[in-house]
Structure 1
Amino acid sequence: MEIRHLKLIKAIVEEGSITKAIDKLHLTQSALSHQLKEAEYQLGTQIFLRQNKKLILTKAGEKLYEAAIEILEKLSGTEKEIKQMTFGEFGTIRISTECYSSYHWLPSVLKQFHLLYPNVDLQIIMEATHYPLQKLQENVIDIAITSDPIKDSNIKYIDLFQDEMLMIVSTNHAWANKKYVVAEDFIEEHLLIHSLPLETVTIHQFLLAPAKVSPKKITPLPLTEASIEMVKADMGIMAMAKWAVQPYLKNNSLKTVKIGKNGLKRKHFIALMSNKTYPNYFNHFIEFLQTEINQQWNI
């Protein structure tokens, strides 16, 4: 008996008909019939009985089918292990964050990880942005990056990094020489945010909403560069993470202002389902993410 005979028998049983088995194995009907006769000749007995245009396993066929399942599963597992030994682990990680600003740093980190683990497919699920924990629970993503954890025994949180949010203003703005701003300072301001809903915007969530303060105007602008140009022209203000704003401060046309006397700091977490078993490459990815972020920005 050869592996092709075992695959043939398994396909006929599981597909339920010769026609479907032919499609699955990419054989012609004559080739399939020839292989089946060959297998029965080698065994010295029939494997199938034809009843009402259906193929029914004989007692010998049932025994062979059980062996085919066991052998083919073992062979598939062995091939996978050998590929992992030779080429590294294979798999997919679906990831999303709670805000679009994270996508400024995430792709570069994913690219570096892919160089080490080329057979792990890293997918950023954009439609899960703003609701990563909900999508994690719905199995739309495998890993969520969030700074707003919820109490749920089914979700496990791993520390990723802490950053500080700063207000960005033009050098001509009234805040340019302020040491820090408070919620009331926003009442007459035009606040630029990356996207709606407002409840997911850090400055609103942690400063403005608790103080029941609304800026004079709020404009969502998905492109950071466009928002920066608006701020430079003194047409609005925006909040950015300290690490993210550094490249934009080189030409001295912008100033950063602390939010609140003690600053507005956010702790970011990696969230996973606590009741789910993850392959080893997930652990490698999480360790890599923690190390890479801390090295890149010295957070």
Structure 2
Amino acid sequence: MEIRHLKLIKAIVEEGSITKAIDKLHLTQSALSHQLKEAEYQLGTQIFLRQNKKLVLTKAGEKLYETANEVLEKLSSTEQEIKRMIFGEFGTIRISTECYSSYHWLPPVLKQFHLLYPNVDLQIIMEATHYPLQKLKENVIDIAITSDPINDNNIKYMELFQDEMLMVVSAHHPWANKKYVVAEDFIHEHLLIHSLPLETVTIHQFLLAPAKVTPKKITPLPLTEASIEMVKADMGIMAMAKWAVQPYLKDNTLKTIKIGKNGLKRKHLIAIMNNITHPNYFNHFIDFLRTEINQQWNI
């Protein structure tokens, strides 16, 4: 039994006559009769009986018509799902960043996109954090968010947003009244960082390493809230993005200081593979991400 046989039986029943079924299926009368005889031969029984010039389903025909409805409906929905996959309504996007602080703003944005595209599975790949470009090239993720691009013709970059890094200290720290700090100011300080390796830490990358300065002590502390409490107690200093530190400045127990005379600004980029044709939903997500970050989050 083939799909064309099921469509034939369904058309004859629902159109109510051979003539109308012929028109719907775009078959000749001889072709329709041949297909019907073929189906009955395969089943070993009649599908229709002729009563008062009408075709009436036999018991076997009723069962077959029921099955035809189920199979054809399932086939139609499957075809629609596949088309939606091709044209961008179903799929998966794997994303990661090189900085844990990005996970403060990323999940809410993903949630908003999910409301628009509920059938697109957005996955944050935490294990790719710190090495997103490497994982992008290894096809572990589809989108990398980075502020440290590499020269590679296989990678395409698009600007996401720009932010400024600030040093955060207690209100009683010697730096509290400084307008800005330079690398040499860190020599006797206890620097709190989110995680290792040190090469991925912005303050080390762009300020300390170029000046060949190493703080007196460096402690990785993954929890931002724990680091903030350490800083409040004057037990260390930390670097944070200006937008990220704002909620912690309300009680005046912390101070922020510019890094370098001109400030330390980072440009965050979206990185994707250049040699891959992405579905529409993927491009829509990138547009949505850029718009949401720049307009609504204002970071």
Q: Which has the larger radius of gyration?
A: 2
Q: Does 1:176 align with 2:176?
A: yes
Cα displacement (A) at 1:75: 6.4
Q: How far is the alpha carbon of 1:2 from its aligned partner? A: 2.9
Query: Residue 243 of structure 1 contacts residue 297 of structure 1 at CA under 8 Å; is this kept in 2?
Result: no
Aligned twin of 1:218? 218
Cα offset for 1:39?
7.3
Counterpart Cα distance in 1 of 2:5 and 2:173: 79
The secondary structure found in structure 2 opposite 1:92 is strand
Q: 1:78 to 1:141 in 2, by over 3 A?
A: same
Q: Would you say the 8 A contact 2:95–2:144 is kept in 1?
A: yes
Counterpart CA distance in 1 for 2:91 and 2:114 is 12
Matched, 1:228 2:235: no
CA distance in 1 between counterparts of 2:4 and 2:172 reads 77
For residues 192-244 of structure 1, what are the alpha-carbon distances to aligned partners after superposition, in whole Å with 9 as ceiling and x for unaligned? 00000000000000000000000000000000000000000000000000000
Structure 1 residues 234, 75: closer, same or farther in 2, change over 3 A? same
Matches within 5 A, 1:262-281: 262-281=262-281
Deviation, 1:81, is: 5.5
Indicate how the Cα distance of structure 1 residues 5 and 198 shifts in structure 2: closer, same or farther if over 3 A, else same: farther
C-alpha displacement of 1:298: 1.9
SS at match of 1:250: coil
Query: 2:252 maps to what in 1?
Result: 252
| Paired letter, 1:268 | H
For 2:213 and 2:246, the matched residues in 1 are separated by 28
Matching of residues 1-299 of structure 1 within 5 Å: 1-3=1-3, 41-42=41-42, 78-80=79-81, 89-299=89-299
Return the letter of the residue paired with 1:80: E
The 1:189/1:118 distance shift into structure 2, 3 A limit, reads same
Question: Is the CA contact 1:147–1:266 (under 8 Å) kept in the aligned structure 2?
Answer: yes
Question: C-alpha separation between the residues in 1 aligned to 2:262 and 2:121?
Answer: 41
SS, match of residue 257 in structure 2: strand
**What is the alpha-carbon distance in structure 2 between the residues aligned to residue 4 and residue 196 of structure 1?**
62
Mapped to 2, the partners of 1:155 and 1:253 lie a distance apart of 43
Q: Secondary structure at the match of 1:294?
A: helix
- Structure 1 residue 297, shift from structure 2 partner: 3.1
The amino acid of 2:180's aligned partner reads Y
Per-residue displacement from partner, 1:153-185 (whole Å, max 9, x unpaired)? 000001100000000000000000000000000
Matched residue of 1:272: which SS? strand
CA RMSD of aligned residues (A): 2.6
Aligned pair count? 238
Task: Give the Cα–Cα distance (whole angstroms) in 2 for the partners of residues 244 and 40 of structure 1.
Answer: 72
Q: Identical aligned pairs, as a percentage?
A: 86
Given the two structures, how large is their TM-score scaled by the length of structure 2? 0.74
Cα shift at 1:99: 1.3
Q: Could you tell me which residue of structure 1 aligns to residue 52 of structure 2?
A: none
Shift of 1:116: 1.0
